[in-house]
Structure 1
Amino acid sequence: LERRRERLRRLLGEEREALAAELRERRRGGMRSQRLRDGPGECGRKVRERPGHAPLYSQFAEPPLQERWNKDNAELREAESELHRKHMREAWGDQLIQQNKEEGTKLEEKKCYENGYKTPQGEALERTRQEEEKPQLEKTLLQQIQELKLQETKATKLKKEQENLLKQQWELENLEEERKQMEEHRRKKELGRFLKHQCDIQLRRRAQQVQEELVRDSFVLS
């Protein structure tokens, strides 16, 4: 991965240098063409343009030279555009290299982290970490045990309350049954007294009738 990055960086640098040299050469060629068009007396000085008029070199330059100038300018602009694109590709390449480098670094760190626990030093660090976490684990376990005991106590209490409720319900049912039996006995007893009273009344009536009949018979016989 590192060799690939270095090779890509070197190729981008060589391509940039070649393009820059070509651009410098085109600029020097354009300047020589400009001096030829300006003439011996105007060499080294840029021709000024007058408002509303075409440049002097375009007025007096021969058509082949002017066409060459236009062609050189177009090639120069194309070269500058190509150089800009090269710079953009180089920047993108540098960004890609940096991204690959960061990913490689993360991958190496991950491997080192995973392999670290396989070494004696990593095992020692793991034991140290476990020793440091042991009090907290013991505290957590103790808390869980206490919570379980509390839940068991609540469950036992609820079970006793349920048993008491069932016992009370059974007692209430027995009392209700006894009440019904006593009510039935009382009703039968009252019915017996009523029947006995009715029977006594009928017996007294019958005795009175017999007595009256005997009186009449004795009166007739006398």
Structure 2
Amino acid sequence: MALPTLPSYWCSQQRLNQQLARQREQEARLRQQWEQNSRYFRMSDICSSKQAEWSSKTSYQRSMHAYQREKMKEEKRRSLEARREKLRQLMQEEQDLLARELEELRLSMNLQERRIREQHGKLKSAKEEQRKLIAEQLLYEHWKKNNPKLREMELDLHQKHVVNSWEMQKEEKKQQEATAEQENKRYKNEYERARREALERMKAEEERRLSRTDGHKRNP
């Protein structure tokens, strides 16, 4: 039995439909793949952006931390250097002060030593001078005892000295008496002058009183 023969246009339509279906499927696959690729690239861009952002923040934070560490190190170094400089200045000041004190002490000791030497020299000279005077006095006493004429001259000088002293005392006594007499006269003169002035004032006051009394009597 022979199979029925399909029309040729129907076969062509069927092949066209199949081709269109395959094309639609291919387009769907392409769209799906495109969407997948687009999502992948979008996600990749987002991840890259986030990673770059995170990397930038991390790098910035690391840089800031490093800067802060370096800044703290520099501040510590400067602080330590300032403390060292201050300590050096204090030590230098103490050394200068100690040097001045030692120099003053040395000068004071030298001055004290020089004064002690001078005093010792003066005492030595005074002792030598005293010994010379004692020796001269003893020699003079010895010579005086063995020289009668000198003893007579000394006795005469002593008598003259006594007479002169007595005369001077008499003269001083006369001067004192004359001064006392002058003072007494001056006192008497001042007393007499004051007494006369008082009497004159009393007399004038009495005359004024009598004058006022007479005036009242004439003008009742």
The answer to whether the superposition gives a TM-score over 0.5 is no
TM-score by length of 1: 0.42
Which has the larger share of helix? 2
Larger Rg: 2
Bigger relative CO (Cα 8 Å, ≥ 6 apart): 1
TM-score by length of 2: 0.42
